[in-house]
Amino acid sequence: MTKQRRRTRTIYLGGIPIGGGHPVVVQGMTKTDTRDVAATLRQIAALQKAGCQVVRVAVPDAEAARALGRIKARSPLPIVADVHFDWRLALEALRQGADGLRINPGNIGARWKLKELVRALADRPVPLRVGVNAGSLPRDILRKFRHPCPEALLEAALREVQTLEELGYSMIKVSLKASSVPLTVQAYRLFSERTAYPLHLGISEAGPPEAGIIKSAVGLGVLLSEGIGDTLRVSLSASAVLEIRVAWGILQSLGLGPPRAEVISCPTCGRCSIDIRRLARKTELALRDIRAPVKVAVMGCVVNGPGEAREADVGITGARGKGIIFRKGRVLRTVKEEHLLQELLRELRAWRP
């Protein structure tokens, strides 16, 4: 069972409340060249359609930072500027209207640079994420612990947070990411025991889709089930849109997401005589953008299908060239196999919660 959400401070990112018991926010990141404003805006539009609520964009140089103004002016989503190495890029991103900033304690530099950034934030306060990565820890911390470990990530995060607090800034969000699931989970647990700052969850460099989805689902699922996490991003070597769909799937599986269509389907076995994989995939694609709490079953055994999927709102099951349409386990009618999908969609159009 999912534990009660850890109570954190509430901050606002582009008007979206984060922390304080508010719903977990799904963040995406563009994979375009930020300097290509048109391409970046097209990807942001695709991310929004998939359910993204906040989008992060890379700011590798001054040209990319200056492009943020044009992106922000036309973006339907709040924009977070992702800054590494050069603190001046964060200042420019702020001037260009970024709704939030992300900095890395491992490479942002000396205290005086943070002081200049906090001075600018005093005039235009936006959330500042302290984004700790196992692959880019501060050198002295890495020397102290010899290798990335949960305690090393914790120390890097706490030290940066303390510096910001001493400089008078507390609109902070924190992440402690690694490509190792156990390392990431333990780092977040340690930090969540010590502060009430909102936490952004992620498994960094999770990998290509198959491996990356598994690692993300396990790592983020464990933390969310323990009540830890206020925003999240799934990081895959795949499309940005797929990352959003996986993120929502993780939230929905834990009962933390808003209402969406859910497809359940049997794994198939020797009794199955219809193409369940094709039917399930086509059903999933047809329901992808439905924002309603409907559960749809695609089953491969006429004998057991309706009973096994009794809790489904609507379902189909078939065998040997024909199948049945059922609702809540009750058979409605028999149709030819080639008409199963269209009959299912017809039922869904008529379905009411």
Domain end call among 253, 276, 309: 253
pLDDT in tens, 70-125: 999 999 999 999 999 899 999 999 999 999 999 998 888 888 999 999 999 999 99
Q: What angle do CA 52, 179, 288 make, to 5 degrees?
A: 30
Residues 6+ apart with CB under 8 A from 197: 8, 9, 19, 161, 172, 173, 174
Domain end call among 253, 287, 308: 253
CA 106/CA 48 separation, integer angstroms: 31
3-state secondary structure of 308: helix
- DSSP 8-state class, residue 179: S
Strand partners, 131: 175
* Residue 244 sits in the same domain as residue 276: no
CA 263/CA 315 separation, integer angstroms: 9
* Residue 54 sits in the same domain as residue 149: yes
Residue with tokens 């969406």: 260
pLDDT in tens, 121-172: 999 999 999 999 999 999 999 999 999 999 999 999 999 999 999 999 999 9
Report yes or no on 32 lying in a domain: yes
pLDDT in tens, 244-260: 999 999 999 998 987 77
Element (H, E) at 263: strand 262-265
* Residue 164 sits in the same domain as residue 19: yes
How remote is the C-alpha of 192 from its chain's centroid?
A: 19
Element (H, E) at 35: none
- CATH number assigned to the domain comprising residue 338: 3.30.413.10
* Residue 330 sits in the same domain as residue 197: no
Q: Are 99 and 13 in contact (CB under 8 A)?
A: yes
- Quick one: pLDDT at residue 304? 64
Query: 267: domain range?
Result: 262-350
pLDDT at 301 over 70: yes
* Residue 334 sits in the same domain as residue 285: yes
Report yes or no on 1 lying in a domain: no
* Residue 248 sits in the same domain as residue 297: no
Question: At 353, is the pLDDT very low, low, confident or very high (cuts 50, 70, 90)?
Answer: low
> Helix and strand tally (H, E) in the chain?
12, 15
Q: How many domains does the chain have?
A: 2
* Residue 62 sits in the same domain as residue 103: yes
Report yes or no on 176 lying in a domain: yes
**In terms of Cα–Cα distance, which of 228, 227, 296, 231 is closest to 260?**
296
Domain end call among 207, 236, 253: 253
* Residue 184 sits in the same domain as residue 211: yes
* Residue 242 sits in the same domain as residue 203: yes
* Residue 237 sits in the same domain as residue 268: no
